[in-house]
Chains A and B, each alone.
Chain A
Amino acid sequence: GQNIDQPTEMTATEGAIVQINCTYQTSGFNGLFWYQQHAGEAPTFLSYNVLDGLEEKGRFSSFLSRSKGYRYLLLKELQMKDSASYLCAVRDGDYKLSFGAGTTVTVRA
């Protein structure tokens, strides 16, 4: 199987920045995905990286540098509504998508 590791929990205050790292060991690589999942709801797609670089979508950014081993999701200007679980997923050489257990982010006032 594939190993996808990410921190279990992170806590931050409103307006702060949170960086969620993701490490993986897969057979081949065809992209890294980030999903957001609020409690009791479906995961929703946030971003996708397959080439090294930064993908920015509003307050959320995802960065990939395979050569330097950096893979993270950056949440800026945190808001209360950003409290959720953030799932890292990696597509391997066979295009199979494997998920990490998720990072629960709690935003406090």
Chain B
Amino acid sequence: ETGVTQTPRHLVMGMTNKKSLKCEQHLGHNAMYWYKQSAKKPLELMFVYNFKEQTENNSVPSRFSPECPNSSHLFLHLHTLQPEDSALYLCASSQDREGLETQYFGPGTRLLVL
């Protein structure tokens, strides 16, 4: 049973909408991640937070805006998305950014942009 939860599990939005994805981890970890998973493509790392500080932003468009209020919660705010942003968005956490611990994934939010 994963200790990482994500809501909503499914989301359909228009290109002019604003929505937020939520991730919560119950594992006491200090690092949290947002990934994008498109069909037949590798997981793409979007953002990394370590001890609430953003440590990586992999050239993600500004229409995606992350927020990490504390080590247990991570949000991804979405606005004016494009149809090509439709994908599975996965949140993950690990003990810390550079440790030897693996990452634990949430179930993901399946996003469809119309």
Instruction: Give the B-binding residues of A (Cβ under 8 A).
Output: 4, 8, 31, 33, 35, 41-45, 48, 50, 87, 89, 95-102
Contacts and interface: CB of A to CB of B under 8 A. Distances in A.
B102 A33 contact: yes
6 contacts: A31-B100, A42-B105, A43-B90, A48-B102, A96-B45, A98-B45
Q: What does DSSP make chain B's interface, helix, strand, loop or mixed? A: loop
Contacts of A101: 40-42
A44 B105 contact: yes
Contacts of A102: 42
Chain B interface residue number, banded? 10 to 19
Contacts, number: 41
B8 to A, nearest CB: 14
A11 B26 CA distance: 37
Contacts of B40: 8, 101
A97 B108 CA distance: 18
Given A31-B100, A48-B102, A41 B42 contact: no
